[in-house]
Structure formats: structure tokens, C-alpha cells
């Protein structure tokens, strides 16, 4: 629900943040971030949930990071339960920029498996950044359930997130490489290849992995 602002200065800023012209919205977000003011936090968070332009959303997130975490963190965390996918994805992105590990418990399995690819990708990136020491294997196991999901861009995002956890991902990749789903198998093989050889391009690794899976057949067939 949109907040009602009584202060004329806040109302002017809010109008600029909602202007039809992206350039005006960008300048408004830059101005708010350049001169942080607690009165603008709600307006920034609300705009993040509906802003269509990526570069403006990024500036809105930057503006939020310029404000005290004591103000921004609770407000951004509240957006994780929004029915709007853009609100969830941008909140997750903002949490990654704030970088406060107190946000970790709010990133749930539901976010990591969100049906919206943008939300899931933001959740993967943010979870890897905020995961507490010792919880990496558990996170890897959850992320591995998403192997084979989506197109190449989504799969690349997941591979990068997994690789960001380091060698703890090897057991879950080995398990996924023997799974019945050929897409998950190929994705696991490609991710393992890149972990071992970071110079390997993802497009090459995934195509090579698909050929291996196609030649190998389903696990248990004729082996």
C-alpha cells in the first residue's frame, strides 16, 4: 500500500521518481542518494517495486544503500513477501548491495526456487553473498535442485552462484550429474567443468555437456 506523504519536499521527490521520463526518475534517485534523508526511504522502496528500467532501479538501490541500515534493512526485508515479482527481485538485489548478513534468515527456499526467473536469480546471488560460514553445503544442496532450469542466461546465473560457494558444491554436482533429468545432468557437468577450469566459457561447457549426456543416455540404460 502506497504511503501518504505530507511533506511538500517528499511529495516533489516522489513525483519526480514516478515521472514518465526515465531520465527524470534517474536524476531524482541520484539526488535522493546524494543527500540522504530518512523521509525518502519508504518512497525509494516503493518505487523499486514498480520501476521498469533496470538502470533506474539500480540507482534506487544505490540511493537506499546511502541511508542507515537501521532504516533500510527492515523496510527492504518487508518486500520479500510481496506478491509482485519485481518487488521481490529488487529487494533481494538491494540486500546484496547492503551486504548485512542479518538478512540471511529472510532468504527462504521459496525465494531460491521462485517461479519467476529474475527473483530466483537475485536470490541465488544474494544467498551466496550472505550465507553464514558453515552453511555453504546446505545452500549448495538447495541450489542444486534448480539445475537444468530455464534458458542459458538463467543457467549461467545458477552456475556462477554455485561456483561462488567453492569446492563444497562438488558432492551435489556429482549427484546431479547422475540424475535422470538430462538438462540437470548437463548443467551439473558444465558447472563442474567451469569450477575446475574457470577459463572455459559457459556456452561451450554446456554444449559439450549436452553432447556427453546425449551419448551416455539415461543413467542405468545399458550400463
pLDDT tens-place values along the chain, 223 residues long: 455 556 777 778 888 999 999 999 999 999 999 999 998 999 999 999 999 999 999 999 999 999 999 999 999 999 999 999 999 999 999 999 999 999 999 999 999 999 999 999 999 999 999 999 999 999 999 999 999 999 999 999 999 999 999 999 999 999 999 989 999 999 999 999 999 999 989 999 999 999 999 987 655 444 4
Instruction: Judge if 118 and 160 occupy the same domain.
Output: no
Instruction: Judge if 30 and 113 occupy the same domain.
Output: yes
How many domains does one find in the chain?
A: 2
Classify residue 82: in a domain, yes or no.
yes
Classify residue 55: in a domain, yes or no.
yes
**At residue 4, what are phi and psi to the nearest 5 degrees?**
-95, 125
Task: List all residues 6 or more positions away from 93 whose beta carbon is below 8 Å from its beta carbon.
Answer: 57, 61, 122, 125, 126
CATH of the domain at 109: 1.25.10.10
Instruction: Judge if 75 and 110 occupy the same domain.
Output: yes
Instruction: Using the 3D structure, point to which of 110, 130, 150 is the last residue of a domain.
Output: 130
- Domain coverage including residue 31: 7-130
Instruction: Using the 3D structure, point to which of 95, 130, 165 is the last residue of a domain.
Output: 130
Instruction: Using the 3D structure, point to which of 93, 113, 130 is the last residue of a domain.
Output: 130
Instruction: Judge if 120 and 151 occupy the same domain.
Output: no
Instruction: Judge if 89 and 110 occupy the same domain.
Output: yes
| Helix extents (H) in 135-199 | 136-144, 152-163, 170-176, 182-196
DSSP assigned state of 116: S
Classify residue 2: in a domain, yes or no.
no
Instruction: Judge if 116 and 157 occupy the same domain.
Output: no
Instruction: Judge if 57 and 113 occupy the same domain.
Output: yes
Instruction: Judge if 78 and 114 occupy the same domain.
Output: yes
Instruction: Judge if 103 and 143 occupy the same domain.
Output: no
Nearest-5° Cα angle at 42, 38 to 5: 90
Instruction: Judge if 162 and 185 occupy the same domain.
Output: yes
The pTM assigned to this predicted structure is: 0.89
**Cα 66 to Cα 31: distance, rounded to the nearest angstrom:** 11
Reported as type and span, the H/E element at residue 12 is helix 8-17
Instruction: Judge if 51 and 141 occupy the same domain.
Output: no
Amino acid at each position: 500500500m502506497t504511503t501518504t506523504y505530507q511533506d511538500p519536499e517528499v511529495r516533489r521527490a516522489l513525483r519526480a521518481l514516478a515521472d514518465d521520463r526515465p531520465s527524470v526518475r534517474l536524476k531524482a534517485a541520484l539526488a535522493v542518494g546524494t543527500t540522504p534523508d530518512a523521509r525518502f526511504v519508504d518512497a525509494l522502496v516503493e518505487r523499486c517495486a514498480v520501476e521498469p528500467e533496470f538502470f533506474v532501479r539500480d540507482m534506487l538501490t544505490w540511493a537506499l544503500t546511502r541511508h542507515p541500515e537501521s532504516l533500510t534493512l527492515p523496510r527492504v526485508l518487508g518486500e520479500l513477501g510481496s506478491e509482485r515479482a519485481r518487488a521481490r527481485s529488487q529487494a533481494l538485489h538491494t540486500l546484496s548491495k547492503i551486504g548485512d548478513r542479518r538478512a540471511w534468515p529472510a532468504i527462504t527456499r521459496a525465494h531460491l526456487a521462485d517461479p519467476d526467473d529474475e527473483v530466483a536469480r537475485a536470490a541465488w546471488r544474494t544467498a551466496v553473498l550472505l550465507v553464514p560460514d558453515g552453511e555453504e553445503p546446505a545452500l549448495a544442496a538447495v541450489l542444486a535442485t534448480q539445475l537444468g532450469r530455464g534458458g542459458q542466461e538463467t543457467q549461467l546465473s545458477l552456475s556462477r552462484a554455485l561456483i561462488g560457494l567453492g569446492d563444497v558444491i562438488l558432492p551435489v554436482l556429482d549427484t546431479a550429474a547422475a540424475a535422470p533429468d538430462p538438462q540437470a545432468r548437463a548443467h551439473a557437468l558444465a558447472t563442474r567443468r567451469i569450477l575446475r577450469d574457470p577459463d572455459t566459457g559457459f556456452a561451450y561447457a554446456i554444449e559439450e555437456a549436452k553432447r556427453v549426456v546425449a551419448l551416455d543416455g539415461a543413467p542405468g540404460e545399458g550400463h
